[in-house]
Homo-oligomer: A and B are copies of this chain.
Amino acid sequence: MSAIADVARLAGVAKATASRALSGRGYVSEETRRKVIEAAREIGYVASPNAASLVTGRTKSIGVIIPFISRWFFSEVLESMEQALLDEGYDMTLYNLPAPSPERERVFDYFLARKRFDGVISVGVALSDDEVTLLHRLGRPLVGIGGPIRGVHTIAIDDVASARLATKHLLSLGHTEIVHIGGSKEDEMDFQVHSNRLTGFYSAMREAGLLPEGSGSFYACEFTMPGGYEVGLAVFGDPRTRPTAVFAASDEIAIGLIVAARELGIQVPADLSVIGIDGHPYADMFRLTTIEQHPRRQGRLAVLSLLAELETPTPGEEDEHLTVLPTNLVIRSSTSGPRPPHGA
């Protein structure tokens, strides 16, 4: 493989000049630059980023830690981040780490601890203190998506408020028998998403004078469409547990519930109102009312924040703060007022 020394020789200049000509830094006469570029083209020279990184300390590469790739929210975030990074001339190395595990430790020690990246973005992963310390020691900026991490700038939505908004929408339509169906506390890997949404639900209900805790007003399920479908069949199949409205913790769950309801012959929204959270592309075809959370914006903002910090490192070592992105209610026709009692 040809090195920059070969280019320099062919162009009849010094290595230093060739480097300046090709990188565009420092003074080079127009004529010399042309000669060098021509020489480089002639022998098919391509620069070694490794060699450059070694001396500049910059790799033009960002590491990303993410617990899932195939779930909607995460793949959207990923796509938008990849796009934004590429636009800025960075590439993205992906670590798919579902849970704290020996493997995750290995990745931190082996890949992340080394100076492979100019910065790291952590999506929906609650980093341990040790992990944050490790990353901080590298002197590389770190931003998070999804929840507060000690000493780290994080982009997130307000899950409690979004859940409250969803619940209040149902309340405002006149519902009182409302159930929340969402992820269980146990498999809570992405910060407190599950419990925050439950908290928001309880808070809105209590505020409306309803006392949801303890009664059968929350059902846990897998955070997927089949997950929602299964509890849907179970919960709606039993007339005693059937509410007039459901707040699902995600659109996928909500859609699973709608499919289950339809199979059981339950009319949505006449017999059952359903609201979700996400703004999933399928929401429209199921006419699902939902709280949109715009993952692509979150991804894009994370990248921009990281790169900004790369340009001008913040003076303070730690820069913990939370950027809360707005969510918004989109009303379709999966929600309406409850059907009036038969005798009315």
Contact = CB atoms under 8 A, between A and B. Distances in A.
B49 A115 contact: yes
B284 A226 contact: yes
Interface string A37-67: 0000000101111110110000101000000
A259 B76 CA distance: 24
Contact of A48 (B46, B89, B93, B115): B115
Interface string A105-128: 001001101111000000000000
Interface stretch (A77-85, A174-182, A208-216): A77-85
Interface string A135-166: 00101000000000000000000000000000
Given A48-B54, A48-B115, A224-B281, A93 B92 contact: yes
Give chain A's interface residue range (CB within 8 Å of chain B): 35 or more
Contacts of A114: 46-49
A139 B284 CA distance: 48
A285 interface: yes
A265 B179 CA distance: 29
Given A69-B75, A259-B285, A83 B96 contact: yes
Contacts of A111: 91
Contacts of A94: 78, 82, 91-94
Contacts of A286: 259
Given A50-B115, A70-B76, A113-B46, A93 B93 contact: yes
A302 to B, nearest CB: 16
Contacts of A264: none
Contact of A54 (B50, B93, B113, B285): B50
Contacts of A95: 82, 86, 91
A308 B179 CA distance: 53
A69 B72 CA distance: 10
Given A50-B53, A91-B116, 15 more contacts: A1-B139, A46-B115, A47-B114, A49-B114, A50-B54, A68-B79, A70-B76, A70-B79, A78-B96, A83-B96, A86-B96, A93-B94, A225-B282, A226-B284, A226-B285
